[in-house]
Chain A
């Protein structure tokens, strides 16, 4: 009790919570406003007791704030995570760390507990590419910090688990139709602006769903199914003009294709901004058996050249594009062995492929002899089969549980890069790689709750991975509830990301050699938080520190290395500069999180605020020393308020997200004057949602958002680096304004009237 008293004393000094609010109704409200999470411990628990800092985004919040994609949910509603938007897909970061160009492979994305980061490069998408029919989402768990203790690789920045609805909450058939329109910012210094009608972008989403509970052989069973298709044609963008000058090979003005003036990149981009994203998800359960199948595709254009998807490309060329396709299957069975032991066995499989198409008409962008330009095509494939078994032992004393299990999988990945002359007169010998590997990973976690106010959680996972060897991922968490409604957490955790098959094997004869000896990236994190609940209100304040080591960066080959690579035939004979991946980058990061959420007027008025401030230094390992990382914001957050007018009237919602100044991706190495950065940004979204009183089963929502930001922190165009003609960077423009309206018709609700 001495410890408890001490902690309580300290806590009372720290907390601003009302003292001695002993009203039972307040306590009940506080309990009913807790979130139930399943991600931190692979089991159901409240977010208050879970060994992690988390935020839970409910389906109701998605509706009332007009959220339509996972990245919107993260930006407008989550704590500690934020996204930014280059041309090809959003990037995600957490607490001031964002790994530029990582294709989302430092955040583990789960759908009902199934990891969807693919086996070739660890890629996951956090926008339309997440590939889950949106109306199926029950809630989204956003877990900050390392999560490898139970999930293995990828869970460095955090874990996001999309939990879909049970059949009881998704019963009957339903259809969804939604449309949107968007507008790019007007650039008075850019090319002539198109008319409003020509400038508008548009998109639509069609969906259908079905859910049913039934009995199969006497066992309670259920099935949910969702189908969705989204397509978007972007607005007309005023880009450039960027003077480039002569092609280094031909000496003529550089050719940017038929939609640009030779030697000048830019104009009004009308064709090369589109996106298509079909998705399907099926979940079936009977008794203690569960099965799910997810299939999705994510096809989008590379709107303009930048440092992520394409360094070079013709202007406004819709054939520059990326396509990802996913299929994920998960089967599991729970088997209660005794009153103390429960077994879970699981099998899973994943199929993935990636296609990258890049076209350029400029000779200088292509291998020697390809004077009319070239087509690059990269095809990556990943497949994996896995099995997992674990046992949960419930001990009769100390409210203790022990979870131990093993996860094993075999992976097969291959890629092939083809470069062909644009006229079809020649093709370089394709570079191709294929590897089969696997891992086995035992894990264990012990929880102890000897009293109602103390929780201990200890866990460790050992990954033995043929890609890099072994990696241990421990986690220790202490939770104390020293006073009414309060909780203090201290968490230490480590996580890793193994090198992907792509990083180990990718090579380009013009510029890059393979890096088969890469090791795992590692993060160590310690954090503490104080949370206070009083009735429908929750306040959280936390601090964190993380150190990252051996991050994969791009290292320029020294002259001897270059010569050796040419001699081995890994690079073209005339290659002057080339790179390889290496474990060179380290990060030091610390900061604070704060959150407040509450409700009033019988729950009709809801509001919330999340804020994160972080100080981060990245050492690229090239001798340049620690520097503030590009792209990642040092301060960011969101705020929201909504009011349910009640009765047949709609719910009004207003949400915002903001971030501080962000250094552009080419801030340090672009050579620009001044070094480019994106100024502080603020986005607002107003939403109205409700049901049509006259049409039972029909609901609607409509919204409008406006971004005060003009640019994202990514240099684009022909001059990603400064040159003799250009000293100022052009940054990726944002969509300035968007509006949408959507309808959902639930047949069962209609029939109930």
Chain B
């Protein structure tokens, strides 16, 4: 019994916020999808800044963050615009909103390891013009505007329309018809 409890307590420490879609493909999808946001060009102001939010204490979060940064860096453009990526360590929800505003970011990519914080981050981003994108599709239900899921071995866009409206993201119908929209 003791062994079982020990195992269970050890298992508790694990976390799965599965990245269903390869990070490389996520970067490529993101580079196309942003062009469907009517406010993207205005937000980017000629050069898109992508903030990659990671949880410093979580090695998996840092690993995924480093990976998306590297994958985005080799792309010629992001929605037709030059772009720059920057890793940002999570501090507080308000801190996230503040750094988004201060850097003039166009995209906030949320790495894994932030499932518990995602709801609060989403609330802090209300009325902030930013496209928040999650590496794990389950974060979309928690307030990320965009995520990537795999359905039967194929990638699928997942969009939180209500949060998109709150964050001044206006996707064109062409992309919405390709996406699964969550309440």
CB distance from B131 to the nearest CB of A (A): 15
- Whether A220 and B32, one on each chain, are in contact in the complex, defined by CB atoms closer than 8 angstroms, is no
- Whether B154 and A217, one on each chain, are in contact in the complex, defined by CB atoms closer than 8 angstroms, is no
Asked if A287 meets B63 with Cβ closer than 8 Å, knowing A28-B33, A28-B175, A139-B153, the reply is: no
| Bound Cα distance from A221 to B18, whole angstroms | 11
| Bound Cα distance from A219 to B16, whole angstroms | 7
Contact of A36 among B18, B74, B155, B157 (CB under 8 A): B155
- Whether A451 and B154, one on each chain, are in contact in the complex, defined by CB atoms closer than 8 angstroms, is no
- Whether B59 and A336, one on each chain, are in contact in the complex, defined by CB atoms closer than 8 angstroms, is yes
User: Does chain A have a CB within 8 A of B176?
Assistant: no
Residue of A nearest to B12 (CB): A217
- Whether B70 and A399, one on each chain, are in contact in the complex, defined by CB atoms closer than 8 angstroms, is yes
| Residue among A166, A333, A336, A337 with most chain B CB within 10 A | A336
| Residue among B9, B19, B62 with most chain A CB within 10 A | B62
Binds A, one of B23-31, B45-53, B95-103, B160-168: B23-31
| Bound Cα distance from A138 to B152, whole angstroms | 5
Interface residues of A in 19-57 (CB under 8 A from B): 24-25, 27-29, 31-37, 44-46, 49, 56
Interface residues of A in 386-431 (CB under 8 A from B): 394, 396, 399
User: Does chain A have a CB within 8 A of B17?
Assistant: yes
Interface residues of B in 129-183 (CB under 8 A from A): 138, 150-157, 174-175, 177-178
Residue of A nearest to B65 (CB): A339
Interface residues of A in 584-635 (CB under 8 A from B): 602
- Whether B11 and A286, one on each chain, are in contact in the complex, defined by CB atoms closer than 8 angstroms, is yes
Count of B interface residues, CB-CB < 8 Å: 49
Tell me which residues across on chain A come within 8 A of B22, comparing CB atoms. 36, 44-46
Asked if A58 meets B63 with Cβ closer than 8 Å, knowing A219-B16, A452-B75, the reply is: no
- Whether A287 and B59, one on each chain, are in contact in the complex, defined by CB atoms closer than 8 angstroms, is no
User: Does chain A have a CB within 8 A of B85?
Assistant: no
Tell me which residues across on chain B come within 8 A of A333, comparing CB atoms. 14
Tell me which residues across on chain B come within 8 A of A141, comparing CB atoms. 153
- Whether B12 and A31, one on each chain, are in contact in the complex, defined by CB atoms closer than 8 angstroms, is no
| Bound Cα distance from A421 to B28, whole angstroms | 70
Interface string of A131-169 (1 = CB under 8 A from B): 000000011010000000000000000000001001001
| Bound Cα distance from A581 to B126, whole angstroms | 73
- Whether B63 and A394, one on each chain, are in contact in the complex, defined by CB atoms closer than 8 angstroms, is yes
User: Does chain B have a CB within 8 A of A288?
Assistant: yes
Count of A interface residues, CB-CB < 8 Å: 53
Tell me which residues across on chain B come within 8 A of A163, comparing CB atoms. 153
User: Does chain A have a CB within 8 A of B122?
Assistant: no
Tell me which residues across on chain A come within 8 A of B32, comparing CB atoms. 24, 27-28, 31
Tell me which residues across on chain A come within 8 A of B36, comparing CB atoms. 24, 28
Tell me which residues across on chain A come within 8 A of B155, comparing CB atoms. 31-32, 34, 36
Interface string of B30-42 (1 = CB under 8 A from A): 0011011000000
CB distance from A671 to the nearest CB of B (A): 48
- Whether A35 and B154, one on each chain, are in contact in the complex, defined by CB atoms closer than 8 angstroms, is yes
| Bound Cα distance from A56 to B9, whole angstroms | 38
- Whether B14 and A286, one on each chain, are in contact in the complex, defined by CB atoms closer than 8 angstroms, is yes
User: Does chain A have a CB within 8 A of B119?
Assistant: no
Tell me which residues across on chain B come within 8 A of A682, comparing CB atoms. none
CB distance from A666 to the nearest CB of B (A): 41
| Bound Cα distance from A34 to B152, whole angstroms | 11
CB distance from B112 to the nearest CB of A (A): 10
Contact of B24 among A49, A216, A451 (CB under 8 A): A49
Residue ranges of B at the interface with A (Cβ–Cβ < 8 Å): 8-9, 11-22, 24-25, 28-29, 32-33, 35-36, 58-60, 62-63, 65-67, 70-71, 74-76, 115, 138, 150-157, 174-175, 177-178
| 15 residue pairs from A and B, CB less than 8 Å apart | A24-B32, A34-B25, A36-B155, A46-B22, A49-B24, A58-B154, A138-B153, A286-B11, A286-B14, A287-B15, A334-B14, A339-B63, A340-B63, A399-B70, A451-B74
7 tightest A-B CB contacts, nearest first: A287-B14, A339-B62, A217-B12, A139-B153, A58-B152, A336-B60, A336-B59
Instruction: Apart from A32-B157, A58-B152, A399-B74, list 13 A-B contacts with CB within 8 A.
Output: A27-B32, A31-B155, A36-B20, A56-B153, A139-B153, A163-B153, A217-B8, A220-B138, A286-B11, A288-B15, A289-B14, A336-B58, A337-B59
